[in-house]
Amino acid sequence: MAINRSSSHKTKKSVQTAQTELLVYLNGEFVPKSEAKVSVFDHGLLYGDGVFEGIRSYNCLVFKLKEHLMRLAESAHTIMLQLPLTGEQLGDAIVETLKRNRLRDAYVRVVVTRGVGDLGLDPASCKAPTVFIITDKIILYPESFYRNGMDIITVPTVRNLPEAINPALKTLNYLNNIMAKIEAKNSNYREALMLNHQGYVAECTGDNIFIVKNGIVQTPPTYLGALRGITRQAIMDLALRNDIPSQERVLTRHDLFNADEAFLTGTAAEVVPVVKIDGRKIGTGKPGKITRKLMSAFQDLTRRDGLRYTL
């Protein structure tokens, strides 16, 4: 292709770039992705001092927005970070970011950091939190995972102690999960099963875990070291609505190995069947009947439930 170096061509190209480049909400402004930058003195970067949420929109419906904003507010409250925007303002900013990027189906990352401060741990030096919202196309697990199920592995890194960094908080301190992810990937697995310090099943690096045994859907209580997943709760609600008994139960690897079915839940993964754990086949080794029923019920829910926006 001939390169036209005339200034008029350059102008046209830069306009095109501006139109196609993703816009990021950053402290009240919408800036192109390439200009969306935060300071090296931001405590979110220096210390992982901040909170975040991962949200999805499906065909112009933001799924469980209220629940995600509530969890963000609770995480912020516990770390004594005052959110500079109300839930309503944050919701409006999320919707506006989705609209400006003309995204029907998207992944939304909302991040609030402690903000710019001195080189010291004390958050008092941070004058104002940094808020940014990234909306982007969602990267999905391969289709085959949903059709045939996943194979996961337990890793040596145990989940954070609730008395240290409570896994119930969705903070920017994700090194615990990242270490587990690295260990899984080192063994050629995509997802890691994490136990707590007592050896009980906690969760995976970015997903909650469920089993089905004798027709009962079971998941570890969050006090054992798991995030109170929004998808996890949606699945418990759907189980109830579909007359499938469900319970929170302390689970060991032995319980998992001998389950009839297993699956993971998360905003990114949705509901994904697990058919092998640490080399042990789960049930028949194929996605189970109740898992498939819940997968389909969840898909229906995401199609009809949520905050609607128009492009």
Return residues touching ligand PXG (CB under 6 A): 54, 177, 203, 206-208, 227, 229-232, 265-268
- DSSP codes joined into one string, 145-180: HHHH-EEEEE-SSPPPPTTTS-TTS-BS--HHHHHH
Q: Which CB sits closer to ligand PXG, 149 or 229?
A: 229
Whether 206 and 269 have beta carbons less than 8 Å apart is answered as yes
By C-alpha distance, which of 205, 227, 47 is closest to 125?
47
Q: How far is the CB of 56 from ligand PXG (least distance, A)?
A: 8
* Ramachandran quadrant class, 202 (left: phi over 0; alpha: psi -120 to 50; beta: rest): alpha
Of 41 and 45, nearer to ligand PXG (C-beta) is 45
Residues designated as active site: 170
Q: Report the residue number, 23 or 236, with the smaller CB distance to ligand PXG.
A: 236
Nearer to ligand PXG by C-beta: 97 or 208? 208
Q: How far is the CB of 194 from ligand PXG (least distance, A)?
A: 8
What interhelical angle do 65-78 and 87-100 show, nearest 10? 130
Smallest distance, Å, CB 224 to ligand PXG?
12
Report, in Å, the least distance between residue 285 CB and ligand PXG: 25
Specify whether the CB–CB gap between 150 and 282 falls below 8 A: no
Q: Which residues of 72-95 are buried (b: 16+ CB within 10 A; e: fewer)?
A: bbebbeebebebebeeeebbebbb
